[in-house]
Amino acid sequence: MNEAIIEVVNSVLRALTWQDSTSSLRATALALPALRAALEAGLVGEAEASGALAAVLQALRAHGQHDANQCALLALAVQLFKKEVYILDLPTMPAPARDKPRSALDAPDGAGLPGLFAPAPT
């Protein structure tokens, strides 16, 4: 079963760079489900994730002039990049502390509307 999943993933990734843009677009739709299956089976490591992202970028170079292919390949590249970062187990970046209020109404001096509508000094 694991060998079959790997073969499907490799076939789909190779199909991304075929000279036929329609086939590449169809392979783009199959790539993420195939990679998810391989990921769930524990068959995707650092090298496989990097190879998948490289295949998508090569396909983007080959078929990026077509709007449909470009949109689908960019979406796939972003999703693969997220998975590659997850697989590489990079440390998470801490969120910056928010000292500012979320809206002007939550500010200590309110929204500052009286200052906006105050008469101009003469």
Tell me: the pLDDT tens digits for 44-100? Answer: 888 888 889 999 999 999 998 999 999 999 999 988 887 755 555 556 767 777 666
For the chain, what percentages of helix, strand and coil (3-state, to nearest 5) are there?
A: 65, 0, 35
C-alpha–C-alpha distance, residues 39 and 97, integer Å: 34
C-alpha–C-alpha distance, residues 38 and 24, integer Å: 20
Residue ranges per structural domain of the chain: 2-88
Q: What is the pLDDT of residue 101?
A: 55
Q: What is the pLDDT of residue 24?
A: 92
Q: What is the pLDDT of residue 23?
A: 92
Q: What is the pLDDT of residue 7?
A: 93
**Of the candidates 63, 61, 64, 57, the residue with the CA atom closest to the CA atom of residue 19:** 63
Using an 8 Å Cβ cutoff, are 34 and 8 in contact? yes
